[in-house]
Each structure stands twice: as C-alpha cells, then as structure tokens.
Amino acid sequence: MPGWLGVGLVAAFGLVAVHRGIRRDMPGAMMAAGMAVMSVGMAGIGPTFVHGPWWAAGFAAVAVWPLVKPPRAGVCGGPLAHLLGGAAMIYMCALPTMRTVGGTGAALTANTVALTPTGHHGRAGMGPIDLPGAPMAVPGPFGAALALLGWALACYFLLGTVTALTRRDAGGALTAPRTAVLGEAVMGFGTVVMLIAFT
C-alpha cells in the first residue's frame, strides 16, 4: 500500500473514530481506531504490530459487542456491517500468521519470500528476504478459500459503500445525518482498500 494512501486511511479512520466516540458509539469508535492503527503499519509509515491471534480476538470482541449490548445511538453501518467489519479485521489479523517459514511459526510479511537452504550448498543464517511484487499467497485449496473470502468481504463493503451514499427516503432525502453517512462510507471503502491490499 502506498504511504500516501496509508496516511489518508489513518486520517479518515481517525476522524470516524472521533465522530463515533462523540455519538457514544464505542464499538464503532474502537473498530475505527483499530483500523487506523492497522493502516499505519500496512502503509509502512509505522510499526506493524496489529496482527496475530490476540489482535484478532480483540476485534472479535468489538465485533460482537453491539449484539450483546447495543449502543443507544446505534452502531456505524448497523450491527451486520459492524460484525462483518470485525470478520474482515480478524481475516487481516490472522492471515499474516498463516504465512510461516518452514513451519517454524515465524510470520512472513506480505512481500516476503522464504529462502530455505538446500543440500550442503545452503548457507547458515539465510532467512526471509523482501522482494517486490504481489503478496505471497497461502498455497493450496485453503489459500484459494481465504482469497475467495477476502474478495467476498471486499465486494460486500464496496456494495455497502455505494448503498450508504445513495440511500434515500421516499422524498429523496438522506435517511441519516450527512456525517453518519460519510462515516459509514469511509469505513466501508477503507475496509475494501485494506482487504484488496491483503488478498
């Protein structure tokens, strides 16, 4: 992901987090804040530490929060969109941990290829190196299923973004305040961008 795009996502998600916090939508605010922090690492403008099972568990808890105790003012995008947003974040948190080097559990970054020494010509200490190009895919049918899941989630949030921006009542007026509509659209489109970067 280009650095400028990452900066844009961080700023957009940060503004949504503040807006949702003011509206007392704590699950929406926490989801947006988590996405902002993940965008920092994805863009290479800061540390990449939002990945792995603990972060995935945190996003899972935030995702189901509105189902257990709905906020009075509602949640950004509605409970289903929020839940699927959590699923997308879990997908992105868990995916890097599945790309491991030789079964050792050492995670590979999106653009990393593992060099495994072969025979007596291998040199000690050889490990992952960064190469340009598309992200390395998880091999086999499992990898294909993960890629399909990623694209399905991306399509859902792209459709959700368009729906949020075009939703009108019978008189042609917006069905929600403009800031809420923009926040929902930003969350949806930002999720699409992040999923495409990972898938």
Q: Classify residue 7: in a domain, yes or no.
A: no
> Over the range 97-122, which residues count as b (16 or more CB within 10 Å of their CB) and which as e?
bebebeeeeebbebebebeeeeeeee
pLDDT, greater one: 102 or 156: 156
Return the number of other C-beta atoms located less than 10 Å from residue 153's C-beta: 21
For residue 168, give both structure tokens.
Answer: 């009108």
Whose structure tokens read 């699923």?
87
Q: Could you give the number of structural domains in the chain?
A: 1
Q: Classify residue 167: in a domain, yes or no.
A: yes
Q: How confident is the model at residue 153 (pLDDT cuts 50, 70, 90)?
A: very high
Q: Classify residue 108: in a domain, yes or no.
A: no
Domain that holds residue 152: 50-101+136-198
Helices (H) and strands (E) in the chain, counts: 6, 2
Whose structure tokens read 């003011």?
22
The model's pLDDT over 73-114, given as tens digits with 9 standing for 90+, comes to 788 888 899 999 999 999 998 875 544 333 444 444 444 433
Can you give the length of the chain in residues? Answer: 199
Q: Classify residue 141: in a domain, yes or no.
A: yes
Which range is least confidently modeled, 49-63, 66-80, 127-141?
127-141
Q: Classify residue 184: in a domain, yes or no.
A: yes
Q: Is the pTM of this model over 0.85?
A: no
* Pairing assessment for the beta strands 112-113 and 129-130 based on DSSP bridges: antiparallel
